[in-house]
C-alpha cells in the first residue's frame, strides 16, 4: 500500500532513523535543485523527459502517457534493482507529487518494496523551506566574522569548524567568494540549493549556543540571503578581524591563484576600473598585464576594497563590535576561541 507523507513528517522521521529520499525526476532537474541528501533514480533521462513533454503539449496527455509507459517499461528491471539495493526506509518524490512519483511508488509496491511518496513533491519542500527561513527564529547567537578583504575569514571559519565549532560557510554554499572576482574558479549555486543547505545547517545547530558565519552583503553571487537571516546577521555580534596588509595580500593569492586565470581577472578588473582614481587604475592594470599580482592586489585593497568596506560597516554600533587584532589566521582563531570561552561563562 502506498502512503503519502508530508514534508514535515519526513523531516521528523528522518531525525529518528535513516530515511532514503529518492528523487525520480530527470538528472537535469536533480542537478538544478533537490532535497539535500536525496538520491537520483530517474524514471526518464533528460532526453526522454523532453520527448514526453513535447508529446504532451503537441498530441495530448494520453499520447504522452503511452510513450512514457513504453520508455519506462524497458527500464523496469534496472529501476527496481536500484531500490532493492537500498537497505532503509524510502520515500520517493517528483516535481509536485504527480505522475512520476505515483508510477514509481505503484510499481515498487507491486514488487513488494515498501515506499512512501512525498505529498506535493519537491515543490512542497521548496515552499516549506522558504516559509521556514522567513518565519522561524534562529535560537543560537550569531558571531559574524568581518574584516577587510583578504583577512582570511573563510580560512578562519574552516579552522573553527575543524575545532568542532558550529559554522555556516555562506560563500561555500553560494559557490561565490563575495567580491567582483568571487566567481572565478567556482560553480555558483542557485537560490533553491542555497536555501536548502542553509536550512539544513540552521536545523542542525538549533541547540547550539552560537553559530559562526562570515559577514556578507545581502547578495552573494547569484543568491540572496533570506530577510530574517540577514536581519539576525546584522544585529548579531560582529567580530572584526584585523591582519597586516601583507598577510591579506598573501591570503588573496592563496585563495584566488590569479596566475591560473589571468584573462578572467583582467575582465573582472574592467568592471570596477571606473570606480578607482585613474592613475591608480592604470597602475593596477599595468601590474595585471605583467602578472605582478601582489602589487596589483595591494593597490586594489588600499584604493578600492578598504574604503568600500569602511563605509559598509559604519552602521554597526560599538556594542556590537569585537575587535580581533592578529598576526595571521591561526592567531585569530586562538583569540576567537578565548572570546568564545568568555562568552560561555
Nearest residue to 63 via CA among 73, 53, 72: 53
DSSP string for 136-177 = S---SEEEEEEESTTS-HHHHHHHHHHTT--EE-HHHHHT--
- Cα angle vertex 32, ends 29, 37, to 5°? 90
Nearest residue to 118 via CA among 132, 139, 104, 138: 104
Instruction: Work out the angle between the directed axes of helices 262-272 and 278-289 (0-180°, nearest 10).
Output: 170
Catalytic annotation, pick one of 41, 94, 189, 326: 94
Sign of CA dihedral 225, 228, 230, 232: negative
Match 539576525 to its residue by C-alpha cell.
Answer: 232
Task: Give the SS3 label for residue 3.
Answer: strand
Nearest residue to 34 via CA among 175, 172, 194: 194
Task: Give the SS3 label for residue 217.
Answer: coil
d(CA 152, CA 323): 15
Listed as own residue / partner, the contacts of 267-275 with beta carbons closer than 8 Å and 24 or more positions apart are: 268/180, 268/181, 268/184, 269/180, 269/300, 271/180, 272/180, 272/304, 275/304
d(CA 41, CA 83): 8
d(CA 211, CA 144): 8
d(CA 106, CA 1): 8
Asked about 163 being catalytic, the answer comes back as: no
The residues assigned a catalytic role are 94
Amino acid at each position: 500500500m502506498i502512503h503519502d507523507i508530508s514534508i514535515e513528517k519526513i523531516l521528523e522521521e528522518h531525525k529518528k532513523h535513516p530515511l532514503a529520499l529518492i528523487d525520480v525526476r530527470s538528472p537535469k532537474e536533480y542537478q538544478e535543485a533537490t532535497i539535500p541528501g536525496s538520491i537520483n533514480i530517474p524514471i526518464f533521462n533528460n532526453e526522454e523527459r523532453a520527448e514526453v513533454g513535447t508529446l504532451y503539449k503537441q498530441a495530448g496527455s494520453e499520447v504522452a502517457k503511452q510513450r512514457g509507459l513504453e520508455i519506462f517499461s524497458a527500464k523496469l528491471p534496472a529501476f527496481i534493482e536500484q531500490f532493492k539495493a537500498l537497505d532503509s526506509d524510502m520515500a520517493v518524490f517528483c516535481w509536485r507529487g504527480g505522475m512520476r512519483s505515483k508510477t514509481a511508488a505503484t510499481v515498487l509496491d507491486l514488487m513488494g518494496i515498501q515506499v512512501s511518496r512525498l505529498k506535493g513533491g519537491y515543490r512542497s519542500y521548496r515552499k516549506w523551506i522558504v516559509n521556514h527561513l522567513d518565519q522561524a527564529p534562529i535560537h543560537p547567537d550569531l558571531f559574524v566574522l568581518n574584516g577587510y578583504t583578504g583577512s582570511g575569514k573563510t580560512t578562519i571559519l574552516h579552522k573553527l569548524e575543524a575545532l568542532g565549532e558550529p559554522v555556516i560557510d555562506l560563500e561555500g554554499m553560494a559557490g561565490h567568494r563575495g567580491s567582483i572576482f568571487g566567481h572565478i574558479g567556482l560553480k555558483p549555486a542557485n537560490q533553491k540549493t542555497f536555501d536548502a543547505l542553509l536550512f539544513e545547517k540552521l536545523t542542525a545547530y538549533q541547540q547550539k549556543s552560537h553559530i559562526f558565519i562570515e559577514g556578507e552583503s545581502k547578495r552573494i553571487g547569484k543568491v540572496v540571503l533570506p530577510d530574517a537571516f540577514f536581519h539576525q546577521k546584522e544585529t548579531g555580534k560582529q567580530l572584526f578581524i584585523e591582519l597586516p596588509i601583507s598577510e591579506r595580500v598573501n591570503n588573496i593569492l592563496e585563495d584566488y591563484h590569479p596566475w591560473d586565470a589571468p584573462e578572467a581577472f583582467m575582465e573582472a578588473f574592467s568592471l570596477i576600473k571606473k570606480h578607482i582614481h585613474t592613475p591608480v587604475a592604470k597602475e593596477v592594470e599595468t601590474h595585471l598585464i605583467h602578472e605582478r599580482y601582489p602589487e596589483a592586489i595591494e593597490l586594489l585593497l588600499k584604493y578600492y576594497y578598504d574604503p568600500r568596506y569602511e563605509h559598509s560597516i559604519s552602521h554597526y554600533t560599538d556594542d556590537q563590535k569585537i575587535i580581533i587584532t592578529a598576526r595571521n589566521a591561526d592567531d585569530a582563531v586562538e583569540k576567537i576561541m578565548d572570546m568564545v570561552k568568555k562568552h560561555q561563562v
